[in-house]
Structure 1
Amino acid sequence: MYIYAEYLLIENIVINYIILYVTKRFTRTDTSRLRLILAATLGALYAFVVFFPSLRFLAKFIVKVAVSILIIIVAFSPSKLYKFIKLFATFYIVTFVFGGAVFAFFYFFNVDAFMGGGIFYIRDLPTLVKLLIIGIFASSILLKFTWGYIQNIISKERVFIPITINLNNKKAKIMALMDTGNSLKDPISDIPVIVVEFCAIKDLLPDNVQRIFDQYKENNLEIISNVMSKSTEEVKFRLIPFKSLGLENGMLLGFKPDTVVLNEEDERVLSNIVVGIYNNTLSPDNKYMALLHPEILK
């Protein structure tokens, strides 16, 4: 079977670009389309090593890893080691899932293709397009349902993160847990919600609001109506519906702080965030007093 170099190059660029784009979306990393194209082209050019016997030494495992590292650097230019590790791990996870899906459909539909010497080549362009679309669809579904678990593994060293909530020149320093199960968002603005124990942010709130929460230990309609009536320009409260924390259907009271600072190695300041007040205990061993929405860590 003849292999047309231009077809092989285009196939590899397209596939590499898709993998890098999915990696970008899942890690929520800012980068340009040009960088993704350049990185995809770099990976595609590396595939031609198998055609040159004198360069076969470049097909060794250590060189493949080095090229993968270079692709990540070109595509995303990560500034911190943990960001690089997250991108690198995600890149390979997406590659394996996407490649597995495409190969599965390749065998299922008995596609006429060439495979050997490190090359997988489909000459028929319409067939390639169909396989790519099916592979993207199948792998996206699989990644969607497993991403929470994968992200937990990738970000294991960042499970506990100290944060500082700032409101009206007051600060509350809290240990927070990155919770992939926290999908709460403000229903009006669609802003991610950090769930925080009332006792951890008590001093940020007006005295009359503190007294209401101190008096009632459960979130109920009386608390909600009383606190909402105390809403002022100083602190504007909002209602956040939820289906967790021991209740099938409930309401959290929340407010928008001035900023929330993630006290990591590369300290980040968040201004577009909502704090949901939970008038109970989140951690049985008191290791943390807040649950972070996973979107703010990406």
Structure 2
Amino acid sequence: MYIYVDVVFCVNIIMNTVILLATAWLARISYVWWRVLLASAWGAAYVIGGVVPQLALFYTPVFKVVLSFSIIWAAFGLKTWKALLLQIVIFYIASFILGGAIMGWLFFLYSGDPFTNINKLPLASWTSLACGSILCLLFIVVLTKFVLNRMLRQRTLYQAEVRYKDKCVAFTAMLDTGNALYTILGRRPVVLINQTTVEKIMDDSVVSFMQDCPADRWIESLDVCEDDVWLSRVQIIPYRAVGNNSLLLGFRPDGLVIKTKSGRVETDNVVLGVYQGVLSNNDMYQALLHPAILKV
């Protein structure tokens, strides 16, 4: 049996590069190409060393784990140990997916009983490696974009209802861990909610005011609104948008109820920030919850 070192080296560089790029994409980390290629070459050189019997000591599971750490460090650097461990785990997951995708592709091409004729399986070729790499990337995209994201959304979506006067409206809210909006007066957490949703509990005069007046002029035109009770609950919320500071119109409802797996969370120490646009393009949720709400 002949081993072509140059072919093995090139194949491993390609496979290592695919795995490292998948790791970077899954871990949401930036990278530079020369470091990824350098780490891939280092991993490929390690594989080539396996043909030397005297180096067998360096091919135990312990040294393979050490090699994995060195490859990740060479490709992405060391920011924190926690981040490095996460990258190592993702690196192994991507490796197993790529290996399984290539083997799956070979089994897909093979005709016959693979258990009695295992030695007759087709050898890995450049085509098999390319197809396996494409399948690997497709599996990773499907896994993260559709499966994991759907599971995450299900864990962060809550059924809620808000009360004001004698009216109540139910809606779906998403927990926004990046929401750090508080009112200046009373330091109440702010829940951002669609205008069309909150209008269902407003009096007609307030609805007419919001619909007739442009959203960017709501605050300066509050004197036009005829609902004094609602105006007494209005609060102006400063917030920082991209590149500038702005103001958000909000008001205090009578109460907010969030339904969780452990029970109901009720609070009146909250302000609804009215958002004229649409928070979710597919209308999956109509409000963004402040994380402090669930700690009440």
- Provide the TM-score with structure 2 as the length reference: 0.55
Q: Given the alignment of the two structures, is residue 134 of structure 1 paired with residue 157 of structure 2, yes or no?
A: no
Larger deviation, residues 79-88 vs 31-40: 79-88
Q: Which residue of 1 aligns with 2:279?
A: 241
Query: After superposition, what is the alpha-carbon deviation per residue over 1:236-255, rounded to whole angstroms, capped at 9, x for unaligned?
Result: 665233389xxx66644xxx
- Cα 1:277–1:123 change in 2 (3 A) is closer
Q: Which residue of 1 aligns with 2:105?
A: 105
Q: Given the alignment of the two structures, is residue 81 of structure 1 paired with residue 69 of structure 2, yes or no?
A: no
1:235 corresponds to which letter in structure 2?
L
Q: Is the 8 A contact 1:39 1:71 kept in 2?
A: yes
Taking the TM superposition and a 5 Å limit, the aligned residue runs for 1:127-206 are 127-148=128-149, 181=156, 195=176, 201-203=182-184
- Cα 1:58–1:238 change in 2 (3 A) is farther
Query: After superposition, what is the alpha-carbon deviation per residue over 1:131-179, rounded to whole angstroms, capped at 9, x for unaligned?
Result: 33233323432344444599x8xxxxxxxxxxxxxxxxxxxxxxxxx99
What residue ranges of structure 2 are gaps of 5+ in the alignment? Answer: 112-121, 158-173, 221-244, 249-274
Query: After superposition, what is the alpha-carbon deviation per residue over 1:189-236, rounded to whole angstroms, capped at 9, x for unaligned?
Result: xxxx97379996122799xxx9xx9xxxx7336578289343577416
Residues paired across the two proteins, number: 205
2:183 corresponds to which letter in structure 1?
K
Question: What value does the CA root-mean-square deviation take over the aligned residues?
Answer: 4.3
Q: Which residue of 2 aligns with 1:25?
A: 25
Partner SS, residue 176 of structure 2: strand
1:199 and 1:130 map into 2 onto residues whose CA distance is 46
- Cα 1:10–1:133 change in 2 (3 A) is same
| Larger Rg belongs to | 2
1:68 corresponds to which letter in structure 2?
S
Q: Is the 8 A contact 2:102 2:132 kept in 1?
A: yes
2:133 and 2:179 map into 1 onto residues whose CA distance is 49
1:72 and 1:181 map into 2 onto residues whose CA distance is 31
- Cα 1:27–1:135 change in 2 (3 A) is closer
Identity of aligned residues (%): 20
**1:219 aligned to which of 198, 209, 213:** 198
- Cα 1:4–1:88 change in 2 (3 A) is same
- Provide the TM-score with structure 1 as the length reference: 0.55
